[in-house]
Amino acid sequence: MSQQTFDAACKEEGYARGVTTVGTDAYSIRCVNEDGSLQTFRPPEEIHDFVARACQGTYTDTRVTDRLATMGRTYSAWECADYGSYAGTPDLKKWCESKGLTLVSASSAKYSAYQWFCANSSGTTVEGIPVDDVCASQFDESALDRVFNVYGKTVEDAWDCFYTR
């Protein structure tokens, strides 16, 4: 998504001064009131609701939802995805086991949703988990991943899979 898309969404929701950022990650996007005060998201993952509304306002003829591609950017970190229906929670443990590895977590991860990896027992092999591939493998090729809470401490609190149309 673009800064212009977010700017239009902010103005549509009544924030006269449009959009700004308060940091460098995807959760730092804020709408600005006429008096210069900023929109708040409490809890922080409420930003997903705002982005979903921005997607729906942009693509009015289809059912879309927010999809966070990366926390490492602001506006362009977000995508609008064609949402068919909920598929379920990705089974990261089963994914690792299918590779002969074990699901492990790195408590030092900046965002807990990204704390899971596959590793062997000695820790000499460590692999990231492509959650989009997990969803496609577990459900079917039309399933996509969606992180809905980067602060989620469990897979169930952080990720889901959904079918595209």
Q: What is the predicted pLDDT for the residue at 123?
A: 87
With a pLDDT cut of 90, the percent of the chain lying above it is 90
With a pLDDT cut of 70, the percent of the chain lying above it is 100
Q: What is the predicted pLDDT for the residue at 150?
A: 94
The pair phi, psi for residue 117, each rounded to 5°, is -145, 165
What average pLDDT does the structure give for the chain?
94
Domain boundary among 81, 116, 140: 81
Q: Identify the domain containing residue 109 by its residue range.
A: 87-163
Residues whose CB falls within 8 Å of the CB of residue 115, separated by 6 or more in sequence, listed in order: 105, 106, 107, 109
List, for residues 92-145, the tens digit of each pLDDT value: 999 999 999 999 999 889 999 999 999 999 989 999 999 999 999 999 999 999
Asked if residue 15 and residue 64 are part of one domain, the reply reads: yes
Using pLDDT thresholds of 50, 70 and 90, give the confidence band for residue 15: very high
Using pLDDT thresholds of 50, 70 and 90, give the confidence band for residue 62: confident
Asked if residue 66 and residue 10 are part of one domain, the reply reads: yes
Asked if residue 64 and residue 9 are part of one domain, the reply reads: yes
Q: What is the predicted pLDDT for the residue at 92?
A: 98
Give the tokens for residue 103: 């699901």
Asked if residue 96 and residue 48 are part of one domain, the reply reads: no
Rg (CA), the chain: 17
> Which one is predicted more confidently, 76 or 60?
76
pTM of the model: 0.87
Asked if residue 132 and residue 73 are part of one domain, the reply reads: no
Residues whose CB falls within 8 Å of the CB of residue 70, separated by 6 or more in sequence, listed in order: 26, 77
Q: How far apart are CA 145 and CA 143, in angstroms?
A: 7
Asked if residue 156 and residue 98 are part of one domain, the reply reads: yes
The 3-state DSSP composition of the chain as helix, strand, coil percent (nearest 5) reads 30, 25, 40
User: Torsion angle, CA of 129/152/163/87, rounded to 10 degrees?
Assistant: 100
Mean pLDDT on 46-67: 92
Packing angle, helices 3-12 and 47-58, rounded to 10: 100
Considering its fold, how many domains does the chain have in total? 2
pLDDT at residue 146 tops 90: yes
> Which one is predicted more confidently, 50 or 43?
50
